[in-house]
Amino acid sequence: MATTIFRASSIAKAVTLVVLASGLSLASGQAEAKQDAPVKSDEERVVALVELGKEVFFTPISRPKGQQSCASCHDPATGWTGASSNINLVEVAQPGADIHRDPDARGQLKPPTNAYATFIPPFALSVNNPFVPAFGGAFWNGRSEGSDPLFPEGAAVHISLADVVTVNNPNDLTLFERAVEGFLGPVADQALNPFPNPVEQNIREKAVCQQVKKADYANLFTDAWGSHIQCDQNNYSTSFKRIAVALAAYQDSPEVNSFSSKRDNALRAELACLTEVEIKALPWAQNLTDAEFDDIVSRFGLVADDPGLCEADNSTGAFPLAGLTPEENWGHDLFYAAAILFNPAQPKPIQVGDIATCDADGNSFPGGVVLTEGRTGAGCALCHSNNATDNGTEPLQTYADHGYHNIGSPVNFDIPGVTASDDSLADHTGVIAHAGLTKTPSLRNVDLRPTPDFIKAYTRNGWFKSLDSLVHFYNTSLVGQSHGVVRCEEGITTEEEALANNCWPAPGHEAGASFTFGITGNLGLSACDEAAIVAYLKTFSDEAVVDLP
């Protein structure tokens, strides 16, 4: 699979970052809301587009009025996903705006995080990879493909540049046009869908246009697009698509993708000790163009050879990171080390002499212990890594291959109306063999929560309620092999019941499940190892706080 961390939106990202750094206000045009604003520069237009997207994202635009916004299902405080601990604990699927009048106004899956979603590539079929038939696209099944649909009967509407911009010279796009082009893709296509969905915001496109037109931030639309918003029969569709692009622009901003986690801060502190030449010699940087390297430096907030930021002695920009605990660094090693050895003669990925906090017998050594024998790991990076050769030191790592996999999750019968597993990718493509294959989510902010007792739901149907149980499932889902885990008896369907009985329910789709190939399910991890992986996952939580409009 090709590198996925770079997209056409590099120009848009760079423009937004430069304007933010210059001190221009995102709401610079608001003082002129009551009068005709002068023509804005391209940089100012991009900034206005991002701020318009932010206003729309947090404004309840729905029917009934004021009941639901994008943030209702994508709360920054919870990692840009479900905002209610109680809902995550039981029914998981978020109630729609019309839930009080229509009890069925609810989806049947957990809302995925929208943070770092603009790094997802357009939907495409894999070449010569029978285990991962497709990758990319937004939604759990990728139906917002982000390009001309490969499966038009199952794909969402696609927004093209011509839908929102009148281009005078296709061979010489203006800076604003290039920025808009960069914001197009799966996230922009996805933004068209929640508004008219009867189980979500439940409001027609024309009514969305009219609400934005009446809003006190309508001038941002004018500043961004160079004309007032028009909601008549001939123009509302274009205005609606421009609103969707604005939402994508905001979701591509540093505010949503802040790269401010403990892991990021620890890596940044080490990279700041190195010169630019030394950084460019690191494995992740060696084959980058100057533009790609500069984009990473800008997005990640990296300053080379900066004594004020450098916090690690003898820094190498590699694990173990000085800013992480021994347990977190050991969790990293397990995360990236192969779970199985296809060739028994090949060396084990965790070598004699490496530092661990768990020995082969599962004993815990909080300060670290020197290993006396090689170990295999969990192989999480096989799916939760941008590229197969990544090792965790990549600044813009999103911890997802964006491919489609089946880990064998049980059916969540607590979701109202659910009697069987959805078909996931097959619901998009119509291909029977794709049933149960689900797009790998980013692990960024996987543990972000407003309070320690806040319940988060995991996997697409939210059956798992903790990272501990999810990692234990990856380790033991091939029942009868390790830790005494067995198949649950009939009637045991929830995570709480399964853990109490040391069992796992039958998977929603067993055909093609990763544990049937030995990739998951019998990893040989101890409870100590599982805890270390969870500790490492918790370092992915962003620390930057979003200022609500």
State the CB neighbour count (10 A cutoff) for residue 362.
12
The two three-digit tokens of residue 506, written as one number: 């039958």
Can you tell me the distance from the alpha carbon of 505 to that of 88, in angstroms, rounded to the nearest whole number? 20
Q: pLDDT-based confidence at 130, cuts 50/70/90?
A: confident
Final residue of a structural domain among 234, 251, 268: 251
Residue 282 lies in a domain: no
Residue 440 lies in a domain: yes
Final residue of a structural domain among 251, 285, 300: 251
Place of tokens 């049980």: 410
Q: pLDDT-based confidence at 315, cuts 50/70/90?
A: confident
29-38, 74-83, 89-98, 320-329: least confidently modelled range: 29-38
Distance of CA 549 to the CA centre of its chain: 23
Distance of CA 243 to the CA centre of its chain: 22
Residue 433 lies in a domain: yes
The two three-digit tokens of residue 125, written as one number: 């079929």
pLDDT (0 to 100) of residue 23 = 43
For 244, the enclosing helix (H) or strand (E) is helix 236-251
Q: pLDDT-based confidence at 3, cuts 50/70/90?
A: very low
Q: pLDDT-based confidence at 306, cuts 50/70/90?
A: confident
Final residue of a structural domain among 230, 251, 272: 251
Backbone phi and psi for residue 161, each to the nearest 5 degrees, phi listed first = -60, -40
Residue 274 lies in a domain: no
Segment 127-134 mean pLDDT: 89
249-263, 330-344, 494-508: least confidently modelled range: 330-344
Closest residue by Cα to residue 228 from 236, 219, 240: 219
Residue 384 lies in a domain: no
Residue 276 lies in a domain: no
pLDDT digits (tens, 9 = 90+) for 141-189: 999 999 999 999 999 999 999 999 999 899 999 999 999 999 999 999 9
Question: Does residue 33 surpass a pLDDT of 90?
Answer: no
Positive/negative CA dihedral, 266, 268, 271, 272: negative
Q: Number of folded domains in the chain?
A: 2
User: Domain residues for 64?
Assistant: 10-251
Segment 446-461 mean pLDDT: 98
Note whether 399 and 75 are within 8 A (CB): no
pLDDT (0 to 100) of residue 37 = 54
Residue 367 lies in a domain: no
Q: pLDDT-based confidence at 13, cuts 50/70/90?
A: low
Q: Is 288 exposed, middle or buried (0-12, 13-18, 19+ CB in 10 A)?
A: middle
**CATH no. for residue 421?**
1.10.760.10
> Per-residue DSSP letters for 495-520?
HHHHHHTTEEPPBS--TT-GGGGTSS
Can you tell me the distance from the alpha carbon of 473 to that of 23, in angstroms, rounded to the nearest whole number? 48
Residue 375 lies in a domain: no
